[in-house]
Amino acid sequence: AGASAIVALLAAFPALERIRFTTTRLGEEGGAALVQSLVDGKSRSFVHIEISDNQIGEEAGALFVKHVLSNQPNLQVLNIVLF
């Protein structure tokens, strides 16, 4: 439920520049959904993304960094701390 809400939110606001999902209990599924929406979505305007203090895991975290960095050309801040 939470992962689909994230995807819907990002799709509804393609001009969004900052997202902060810290300490939200975002898990691997949510992390994967977030990556997918940032890569496949229309938005390429993010300058600040924070997803620290979540439980997305090392594999999802590595995919997140790889795909987001290559698909968000305006990104200036990426705060990701894996637990």
> What tokens were used for 82?
């894996």
pTM score, whole prediction: 0.82
Distance of CA 67 to the CA centre of its chain: 10
- For the CA atoms of 42, 47, 53, 59, the dihedral, rounded to the nearest 10 degrees, stands at 50
Q: Output phi, psi for 82, to 5 deg.
A: -90, 140
> What tokens were used for 9?
């939110």
Query: What is the rounded CA–CA span in Å between residue 75 and residue 83?
Result: 23
Tens-digit pLDDT profile for the chain (83 aa)?
Answer: 677 787 888 888 888 899 998 888 888 888 888 888 887 777 788 999 998 888 888 887 888 888 888 888 999 999 987 65
Largest pairwise CA distance in the chain: 30
